[in-house]
Structure 1
Amino acid sequence: MLTIDFHVHCFAPKIAEKAITQLKDRADIEPLTDGFIETTEARLDEWGIDRGVLLSVATRPSQVKVINDWCAENNGGRFISFGTVHPDTEDIPGELDRIVSLGLRGIKLHPDYQGFMVDEDRVDLLYDEIERRGLPVVLHAGFDVFSPSKIHCPPEAALRMLKKHPHLKVILAHLGGNDCHQQVHEILAGVDGEVYFDTAFTGRYLPDSLMEKIIRKHGADRILFASDIPWDSPFEIKKKIMRLRISDDDKEKIFSGNAARLLGGI
């Protein structure tokens, strides 16, 4: 069965070691890779993962162009790269046009690292411009150790944003909200629109029963297999999905079919 991991993190060689160390110390989690492209590709072989969607985040506007250039260099072959834009980027339309011209397949935003609430009015322009270009956007959703006292994309705020932008192609990472899954099931699952949940970082803490309930309510055709490499194991999450009481057809959609449809081919 073809398997596409929709949530993979790697870093440019000159910052990989520092980035992994800082994130490891902050989260108190042992990483499963060293953050380098080559090592991650080798681990994908070990885990039986065919393709990975490479996600990078600009924490400052000054990083946007450099990160997007690096993502473009690593787009194709084993990896499908998304670009990034900071909400305070000076020329948002221009950079999004450049992202399209570089062949990047979507956008990654991280409200916690980029300092915005997911439903803030000041981000509406960015969402509108992303939608205008038909790009999917991956949003970190739910708790993050970077901002433990304030969740920047809780389910209720995500729902408000989705109602303002009903035609935006959105992937809410971590099955709609890391460490907020009961709320996700109650108020987000089943929402109208091209709204996907990815399964990143669900291997350790999310009970199978609750995962199954969310998938059934939201629809398996809007769930994307993902791990959050290097912070969770795609092998373990794949085993988790395989043991859920959903059909083989739904599992195939989750592992690759939905991703291929969303991306317009792989």
Structure 2
Amino acid sequence: MYIDFHIHAYADEIADRAVKKLKDTASCEAYTNGRIDDTRQKLKAWGVDYGVLLPVATKPTQQTTINNWAIAQNHGNIISFGTVHPDSEELDSELERIAGSGLHGIKLHPAYQGHFMFEPCMQRIYEKCGELGLPVILHMGYDPISTMISHAMPCDLAEMAEKYPDCKFIGAHMGGMMNWERVLHYIKDTSNIYFDTAYCANFMSDEMFMEMFRAYGEDRILFGSDLPWSDPRDEINMIDRMPISDSAKDKIFYKNAAELLKIDI
């Protein structure tokens, strides 16, 4: 079984525009057309049982509409997270609505949302999510929309996880895209930090993956692809070829995700 912990799709009316903009910004290929129906079909065709949908509100005015859409997609082979914008005046009430709606967590993208992950407005989210039991996944490390300034770095993740021990953090892209040495340096024994493999297959060496596996163990790594920007089969193949036990691979592929999401599969 496979639970892809990191996928993206967009409402039909904006999908073409969103995919084109991101393709042009990152100069990368898209493996779906960005629509949720195509995403569902591709996941099935590739043998991926579930995809965790991670929407992002880039403006405070978007969060309610985006979360309504995410709630509507939260069925079948799609497991939806919600999102909030740190500048929203309805932050607490929207997080409470998300928790009561059946959405499974919160996605934040500090670069897209215009804040560093350690700012007080972001910390309000971590504190409230800890109270509500909502995991928080953040884009970590390099991003092509902000090539000179990284809004979320491994040292920040370590600090925030220590400050908010009741909040479960998922550091996307193995805790810091293109900054994995810093992950190993800063993140030690913090048990409320998880890591996903999104977009790592073509950039992370096998040696680095194994270093991180030895540092953090089989219980804190989650298979994720970053679909449509990466083919999930690439990340599956990366994990499959690692010299680790089948039981460890099962944890990475789906068991850790199911436990974190509190779902029965």
Same-fold call, TM > 0.5? yes
Given that residues 161 and 192 in structure 2 are in contact (C-alpha distance below 8 angstroms), is that contact kept between their aligned partners in structure 1?
A: no
Given that residues 5 and 234 in structure 1 are in contact (C-alpha distance below 8 angstroms), is that contact kept between their aligned partners in structure 2?
A: yes
Amino acid of the residue matched to residue 217 of structure 1? A
Given that residues 131 and 166 in structure 2 are in contact (C-alpha distance below 8 angstroms), is that contact kept between their aligned partners in structure 1?
A: no
**Structure 2 unaligned runs (5+)?**
none
Aligned length: 264
**Structure 1 unaligned runs (5+)?**
none
Mapping 1:203-218, distance limit 5 Å: 203-218=201-216
Q: Determine the structure 1 residue equivalent to 2:258.
A: 260
Which residue, out of 188, 199, 202, partners 1:201? 199
Q: Determine the structure 1 residue equivalent to 2:28.
A: 29
1:100 Cα deviation after fit? 1.8
Alpha-carbon distance in 2 for matches of 1:30, 1:124: 34
Alpha-carbon distance in 2 for matches of 1:183, 1:79: 32
Q: Percent identity?
A: 44
Residues 1:225 and 2:223 are matched in the alignment: yes
Amino acid of the residue matched to residue 122 of structure 1? C
Deviations 1:198-248 (A, max 9, x none): 000011111011011101101110111000001111101101101111111
Given that residues 203 and 233 in structure 1 are in contact (C-alpha distance below 8 angstroms), is that contact kept between their aligned partners in structure 2?
A: no
Deviations 1:37-84 (A, max 9, x none): 111112112221000000000000000000000000000111000000
Given that residues 173 and 198 in structure 1 are in contact (C-alpha distance below 8 angstroms), is that contact kept between their aligned partners in structure 2?
A: yes
1:166 Cα deviation after fit? 2.0
Q: Determine the structure 1 residue equivalent to 2:9.
A: 10
Moved more, 97-106 or 228-237: 97-106
Which residue, out of 189, 192, 209, partners 1:191? 189
Amino acid of the residue matched to residue 117 of structure 1? F
Moved more, 51-60 or 158-167: 158-167
Q: Determine the structure 2 residue equivalent to 1:143.
A: 142
Q: Determine the structure 1 residue equivalent to 2:57.
A: 58
Alpha-carbon distance in 2 for matches of 1:184, 1:243: 22
TM-score normalised to the size of structure 2? 0.97
Q: Compute the RMSD of aligned alpha carbons.
A: 1.0
Residue 66 of structure 1 aligns to a residue whose secondary structure is helix
TM-score normalised to the size of structure 1? 0.97
Q: Determine the structure 1 residue equivalent to 2:96.
A: 97
Q: Determine the structure 2 residue equivalent to 1:69.
A: 68
Alpha-carbon distance in 2 for matches of 1:60, 1:149: 22
Which residue, out of 244, 247, 250, partners 1:249? 247
Given that residues 167 and 193 in structure 1 are in contact (C-alpha distance below 8 angstroms), is that contact kept between their aligned partners in structure 2?
A: no
Alpha-carbon distance in 2 for matches of 1:113, 1:144: 9
Given that residues 173 and 197 in structure 2 are in contact (C-alpha distance below 8 angstroms), is that contact kept between their aligned partners in structure 1?
A: yes
